[in-house]
């Protein structure tokens, strides 16, 4: 829905494994978040999982709906 992966992604796979809605898919060279599948981790304790688990600063960013 509102998180996107930027070209700072190093394809480490952490966010794909952590995502509760299987919204993240492998890509080359960067991973991708399916905006329709991502629900911003609604209902997940602690909030969005992908962004805090990502080791690369700026690789996952919040992008409000256009």
- Does residue 12 bind ligand SF4 (CB under 6 A)? yes
Rounded Cα gap, residues 47 and 49, in angstroms: 6
Q: What share of the chain is helix, strand, coil (3-state, %, to 5)?
A: 15, 15, 70
Choose, by CB under 6 A, the member of 13, 58, 61, 63 that binds ligand SF4: 13
Q: Where in 25-64 is the site for ligand SF4 (CB under 6 A)? A: 31, 33, 38-41, 48-50, 54, 56, 59-60
Rounded Cα gap, residues 33 and 18, in angstroms: 12
CA atoms within 13 A on the CB side of 40: 8
Number of residues that bind ligand SF4 (CB under 6 A): 28
Binding site for ligand SF4 (CB under 6 A): 3, 5, 9-15, 18-21, 23-24, 31, 33, 38-41, 48-50, 54, 56, 59-60
């Amino acid at each position: 829905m509102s998180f996107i992966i930027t070209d700072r992604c190093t394809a480490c796979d952490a966010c794909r494994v952590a995502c509760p809605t299987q919204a993240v898919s492998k890509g080359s060279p960067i991973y991708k978040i399916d905006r329709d599948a991502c629900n911003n981790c609604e209902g997940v304790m602690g909030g969005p999982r992908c962004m805090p688990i990502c080791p690369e600063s700026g690789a996952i960013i919040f992008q409000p709906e256009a």
